[in-house]
C-alpha cells in the first residue's frame, strides 16, 4: 500500500497542524505578496501535490473567481480535498507528478497563471525535480508564477537539529491547542516516523533556485526560510 494511502498517517498532514508550522502565517502572507506583485488577476491555478487542499483553498480565498486543479498521487488525500468545501467547479486529478508523462492527465488544460506546491516535491529524486520544474515552466502562461513551499536540506547536522527542535516545539503547542498535551518523547514518537523520513529526498534551496534560473525562470529567490522550511520560486517572464 502506498504510504500516503494509509489513513492513520493523514492526521499529521491535515487538520490544524499547518497553522503551527514555524512561520506559517508569514508563509501565507509572503505567498500573497508575491502573487499580488506579479499578477493580481489569477484566473487559473494548479495545486501540485495538493494533499488536503490547504494551499489551493488559500488561493481561492484570495481569488474567488479563479479556477483550480488539485492534483495528488494519493486518492485518500484527493478525497480529503474534495471534502474540504472547495468550489463546485474545482477539478481533482489523482496522478503521480514523479512520472514523466504526468502532464497528460491535465488533458487540454496546459496554461496556468499560478502553479503552487506545498511540502510535496521533496518526495521525488533530484533529476525528477529538475524535470518537473521544466514541466512547470512549460505549463505556465507568460508572467505565470511558480511557488514552492518546501522541505529542503540543511547544510549541517547542527542546523538540521535546530530545525528538529523547532518543529517538535511547534507540535507540542499544537497538541496543547487541541487539548491533548504530549511530552517531548511522545511528540518524537508521533511525528518522527522513520518510514516517512525515508521518503524524503531533500535538496538545498540554493541548488533548486539555480535549477529554476537555468530553466529560464526570472525573479528567482528564496523568499522566506527558517532552517529546513523554505518558500522559493520564480516567474515565467516571456
CATH code, 3-156+203-236: 3.40.50.150
pLDDT at 151: 94
pLDDT at 14: 40
Q: What burial class does residue 225 get, using C-beta atoms within 10 Å of its C-beta: 0-12 exposed, 13-18 middle, 19+ buried?
A: middle
Are residues 151 and 182 in contact, defined by beta-carbon separation less than 8 angstroms? no
pLDDT at 223: 97
Residue 196 has pLDDT above 90, yes or no: no
Q: What is the pLDDT of residues 6-25, one digit of tens each?
A: 444 444 434 466 777 888 88
Q: What is the pLDDT of residues 198-237, one digit of tens each?
A: 778 999 999 999 999 999 999 999 999 999 999 999 999 8
Three-class SS of residue 87? Answer: coil
Q: What is the pLDDT of residues 65-112, one digit of tens each?
A: 999 999 999 999 999 999 988 999 999 999 999 999 999 999 877 799
Q: What is the mean pLDDT of the chain?
A: 89
Residue 3 has pLDDT above 50, yes or no: no
Terminal Cα-to-Cα distance of the chain (whole angstroms) = 43
pLDDT at 174: 86
Q: What's the grid cell of residue 48?
A: 501540485
pLDDT at 16: 61
**Which residue is listed with cell 521533496?**
122
pTM over 0.85: yes
Are residues 11 and 84 in contact, defined by beta-carbon separation less than 8 angstroms? no
pLDDT at 56: 93
> Angle CA(218)–CA(222)–CA(225) in degrees, nearest 5?
165
Q: What's the grid cell of residue 115?
A: 502553479
Q: What's the grid cell of residue 229?
A: 522550511
**Which residue is listed with cell 547542527?**
158
- What is the number of residues in the chain? 238
Q: What ranges do the domains of the chain cover?
A: 3-156+203-236
Q: Is the dihedral of CA 144, 27, 89, 81 positive or negative?
A: positive
Amino acid at each position: 500500500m502506498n504510504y500516503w494511502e494509509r489513513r492513520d498517517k493523514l492526521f499529521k498532514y491535515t487538520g490544524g497542524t499547518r497553522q503551527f508550522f514555524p512561520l506559517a502565517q508569514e508563509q501565507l502572507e509572503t505567498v500573497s505578496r508575491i502573487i499580488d506583485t506579479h499578477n493580481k488577476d489569477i484566473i487559473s491555478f494548479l495545486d501540485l501535490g495538493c494533499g488536503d487542499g490547504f494551499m489551493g483553498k488559500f488561493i481561492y480565498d484570495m481569488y474567488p473567481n479563479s479556477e483550480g486543479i488539485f492534483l495528488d498521487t494519493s486518492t485518500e488525500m484527493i478525497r480529503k480535498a474534495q471534502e474540504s468545501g472547495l468550489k463546485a467547479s474545482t477539478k481533482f486529478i489523482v496522478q503521480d507528478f514523479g512520472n514523466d508523462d504526468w502532464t497528460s492527465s491535465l488533458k487540454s488544460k496546459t496554461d496556468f497563471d499560478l502553479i503552487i506546491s506545498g511540502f510535496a516535491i521533496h518526495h521525488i529524486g533530484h533529476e525528477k525535480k529538475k524535470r518537473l520544474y521544466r514541466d512547470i515552466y512549460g505549463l505556465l502562461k507568460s508572467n505565470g508564477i511558480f511557488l514552492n513551499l518546501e522541505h529542503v536540506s540543511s547544510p549541517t547536522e547542527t542546523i538540521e537539529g535546530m530545525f528538529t527542535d523547532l518543529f517538535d516545539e511547534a507540535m507540542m503547542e499544537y497538541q496543547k491547542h487541541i487539548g491533548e498535551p504530549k511530552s517531548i518523547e511522545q511528540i518524537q514518537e508521533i511525528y518522527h516516523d522513520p518510514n516517512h523520513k525515508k521518503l524524503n529526498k531533500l535538496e538545498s534551496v540554493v541548488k533548486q533556485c539555480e535549477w529554476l534560473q537555468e530553466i529560464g525562470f526570472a525573479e528567482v529567490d528564496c523568499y522566506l526560510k527558517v532552517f529546513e522550511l523554505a518558500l522559493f520560486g520564480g516567474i515565467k517572464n516571456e
